[in-house]
A and B are shown apart, each in its own frame.
Chain A
Amino acid sequence: MFHAYGPIFILFAVVVGFVGTTMLATHLLGPKRHTKAKDETFECGVPSVGNARVPFSVHYFLIAILFVLFDVEVVFFYPWAVNFHFLGWKGFGEILLFTLTVCVSLIYLIRHGVLDFEQE
């Protein structure tokens, strides 16, 4: 286990070390001149109005929920895929049933227009 995961930690340490040093270097090397106009966010030269962090369309939120749901479904397929030949037709039948439900939910979503992004 140490032999399998240890090198990943070494890589992580090397990458974090590199990123940290580079960030520090660029912070120290670059010039810093603040002016009021420059410190504003760039919005095509138009004076920025209000805050960018405003409530947003619920549609994106739905996509994120659906992603979580389908991601969990995808995870269920992995144990089957690895033991695919061992499980044979029985496992295939079980997965077929499971996939059928996934397809039903997908069709249901499409029919209700949750996945439509066109302008209404």
Chain B
Amino acid sequence: MVTLFLVLSLLTVLSALCVVFTRNLIYSVLSLIVCFFAIAGHYVLLKASFLAVIQVIVYAGAIMVLFLFMLMLMNLNKKAEASKPFSLKVVAVGVCLLVLVALVSIVFLSAPRVCFAPLAPVSGSVSALGPLLFNEYAIPFELTSILFLSAVAGVVMIGSYGKKAKKQ
């Protein structure tokens, strides 16, 4: 169990590093897919098989397809991107450091929430999730549909912009 966890963690971290350090964007997307699979493996270890499969369907199967699509539809021939001005680099490093400090402080300052006790086998199953989602979290669930509606409006906006650009 622990070895499996270590192997998966190593895979997650390495593929995540690949995402950042690869120059070619397609390779970067592919390593992100590997990273998502490793995270799905972590969910399986936590006995949340539904979440694991959803992770694969939504992240690896849908969002990454969108990313790859975007890269395929864009012009990737210009290999050398214009180097950013020095001030921008300083700001970027600063923001990243702030995020790092925030994350680390969350981990160390907050009360330990990680539960090392063996989980009940039903906790992550679909049949346990259903009643929870439709009774206790019914209102957030309905609100997500509004969120989807606004996202669809965004798609229509992009589409109409494309059409206008074509007409001109």
- A residues engaging B (CB < 8 A)? 1, 4-5, 51, 53-62, 64-69, 71-73, 75-76, 78-80, 82-83, 86-87, 90-91, 94, 97-98, 101-102, 104-105, 108-109, 112-114
Is B156 a contact partner of A108 (Cβ separation < 8 A)? yes
Q: Mark B67-93, 1 if CB is under 8 A from A, else 0.
A: 001101111110000000000000000
Judge whether B14 is part of the interface by a CB distance below 8 angstroms. Answer: no
Q: How many contacts between A and B, using CB within 8 angstroms?
A: 129
- List the one stretch of B27-35, B55-63, B103-111 in contact with chain A: B55-63
- The 8 Å CB contact of B130, one of A68, A87, A108, is A87
Judge whether B148 is part of the interface by a CB distance below 8 angstroms. Answer: yes
Distance A64 CA – B72 CA, assembled complex (angstroms): 12
Is A105 a contact partner of B149 (Cβ separation < 8 A)? yes
- Closest beta carbon of chain A to B39's beta carbon, Å: 15
Is A101 a contact partner of B149 (Cβ separation < 8 A)? yes
Is A109 a contact partner of B155 (Cβ separation < 8 A)? yes
Is A80 a contact partner of B134 (Cβ separation < 8 A)? yes
- B residues engaging A (CB < 8 A)? 44-45, 47, 49-50, 54, 57-58, 61-63, 65-66, 69-70, 72-77, 126-127, 129-131, 133-134, 138, 141-142, 144-146, 148-149, 151-153, 155-156, 158-160, 162
Is B145 a contact partner of A97 (Cβ separation < 8 A)? yes
Is B63 a contact partner of A68 (Cβ separation < 8 A)? yes
Residues in B whose Cβ lies below 8 Å from that of A71 = 57-58, 61-62
Is A53 a contact partner of B66 (Cβ separation < 8 A)? no
Distance A5 CA – B74 CA, assembled complex (angstroms): 38
Is A76 a contact partner of B66 (Cβ separation < 8 A)? no
Residues in A whose Cβ lies below 8 Å from that of B145 = 73, 97-98, 101-102
Is A61 a contact partner of B70 (Cβ separation < 8 A)? yes
Is A82 a contact partner of B142 (Cβ separation < 8 A)? no
Distance A76 CA – B143 CA, assembled complex (angstroms): 12
Residues in A whose Cβ lies below 8 Å from that of B148 = 69, 72-73, 101-102, 105
Is A60 a contact partner of B69 (Cβ separation < 8 A)? yes
Distance A113 CA – B155 CA, assembled complex (angstroms): 11
Is A68 a contact partner of B62 (Cβ separation < 8 A)? yes
Is A69 a contact partner of B152 (Cβ separation < 8 A)? yes
